[in-house]
């Protein structure tokens, strides 16, 4: 029986044109470039145009990834979109990406996956399982967000953090043979969740918590925007990411010095620096985009990955550690040999 490993054979990304600098926010809110940059590392973020939806950003990133992989849209037999800001609550944004790519006639499965900032790592892991089981040859995995539509732009504690964008990868099933000692591909993925922290970080907009005054069910649970107790989230993020880095290294019988590149979720430069320190890594081996992208949630890891692949930092044979932490809480990692 043939066993398969999932290999990333192409990546792509898309950022909306509109840049929103901290100075512009400071003109509208009681904040400053100095406060935002020193606390988060963010200088600017991108904002989707009024007629751009998450599926548009996702499709643009997917097209780039397909081109990089030399794979035609109709060769894709699984589409996963990790997002917490879908076009609509249903249908899944992934089905709209499939349609916009023009490969709907192939009827390959397409669905969304919601693990907030850890969404891309979760989706990568799910796609890997499809490939390992032999039920899929080419998978398109996308992280795409329009968080600018989710935040409350009058709340300085959260709106300064987020941005819009999309990143994508194409995975290919490669038969595992004894011939190659260090074959490229996903070595392992590690996923965790703890739902007891919901009140530290949550968004709004679900159907189920909507008030229904007509039937006398007018609960007030569905408050607008993103609600976050940033300080407490920060501490939990650092702890969980330290643990997942250790878990990933132990699972692969590797040491900290074996990792060539850290591609972290881009929420806060201080969280990223803390994980790098845990790994004993200098910051020049860490891919950082938070200064220019802000927190693009599920899009942040594939956006950073694509940047480092395109500018030549990540080279064949390199060991790349991706990790993320987000609302839920959810957290996870993926170790990949490029």
Quote the CA–CA distance of 68 and 62 in Å, as a whole number: 10
294 backbone dihedrals φ, ψ, rounded to 5°: 65, -160
Residues that bind ligand ACO (CB under 6 A): 31, 35-36, 39-40, 116-117, 156-157, 160, 201, 230-231, 233-234, 237, 267-268, 271, 295, 297, 325-327
Quote the CA–CA distance of 291 and 288 in Å, as a whole number: 7
- Give catalytic status of residue 318 as yes or no: no
Which of 117, 136, 190, 268 is an active site residue?
117
- Give catalytic status of residue 117 as yes or no: yes
Least distance (Å) between residue 223 CB and ligand ACO: 15
Least distance (Å) between residue 321 CB and ligand ACO: 18
Which of 22, 138, 190, 265 is an active site residue?
265
175-210: string of b/e by CB count within 10 Å (b at 16+)? eeeeeeeeebbbbebbbbeeeebeebbbbeeeeeee
Nearer to ligand ACO, 129 or 229 (CB): 229
Per-residue tokens: 211: 């008030």
End-to-end alpha carbon distance in the chain: 26
- Give catalytic status of residue 252 as yes or no: no
Quote the CA–CA distance of 73 and 62 in Å, as a whole number: 9
Which of 22, 138, 293, 295 is an active site residue?
295
Nearer to ligand ACO, 92 or 201 (CB): 201
**Position of tokens 């490993």?**
5
Quote the CA–CA distance of 269 and 298 in Å, as a whole number: 17
Least distance (Å) between residue 122 CB and ligand ACO: 12
Nearer to ligand ACO, 59 or 295 (CB): 295
Nearer to ligand ACO, 103 or 237 (CB): 237
Residue nearest ligand ACO, CB atom distance: 230
Catalytically active residues, by annotation = 117, 265, 295
């Amino acid at each position: 029986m043939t066993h398969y490993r999932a290999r990333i054979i192409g990546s792509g990304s898309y950022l909306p044109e509109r840049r929103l600098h901290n100075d512009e926010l400071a003109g509208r809110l009681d904040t400053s470039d100095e406060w935002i940059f020193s606390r988060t590392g963010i200088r600017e973020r991108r904002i989707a145009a009024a007629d751009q939806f998450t599926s548009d950003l996702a499709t643009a990133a997917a097209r780039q990834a397909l081109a990089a992989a030399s794979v035609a849209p109709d060769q894709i037999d699984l589409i996963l979109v990790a997002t917490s800001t879908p076009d609509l609550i249903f249908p899944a944004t992934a089905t709209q990406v499939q349609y916009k790519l023009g490969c709907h006639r192939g009827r390959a499965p397409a669905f969304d996956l919601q693990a907030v900032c850890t969404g891309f790592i979760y989706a990568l892991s799910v796609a890997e399982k499809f490939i390992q089981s032999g039920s899929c040859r080419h998978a398109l995995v996308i992280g795409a967000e329009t968080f600018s539509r989710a935040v409350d732009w009058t709340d300085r504690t959260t709106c300064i953090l987020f941005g819009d964008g999309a990143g994508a990868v194409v995975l290919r099933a490669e038969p595992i043979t004894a011939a190659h000692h260090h074959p490229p591909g996903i070595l392992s993925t590690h996923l965790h969740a703890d739902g007891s922290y919901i009140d530290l970080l949550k968004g709004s907009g679900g159907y189920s918590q909507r008030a229904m005054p007509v039937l006398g069910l007018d609960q007030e649970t569905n408050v607008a925007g993103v609600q976050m107790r940033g300080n407490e989230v920060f501490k939990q993020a650092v702890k969980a990411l330290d643990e997942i880095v250790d878990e990933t290294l132990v699972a692969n019988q590797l040491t900290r010095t074996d990792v060539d590149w850290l591609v972290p979720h881009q929420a806060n430069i201080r969280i990223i620096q803390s994980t790098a320190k845990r790994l004993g890594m200098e910051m020049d081996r860490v891919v950082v985009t938070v200064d220019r992208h802000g927190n693009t949630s599920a899009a942040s890891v594939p956006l950073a990955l694509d940047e480092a692949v395109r500018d030549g930092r990540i080279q064949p044979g390199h060991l790349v550690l991706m990790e993320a932490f987000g609302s839920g809480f959810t957290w996870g990692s993926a170790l990949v040999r490029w």
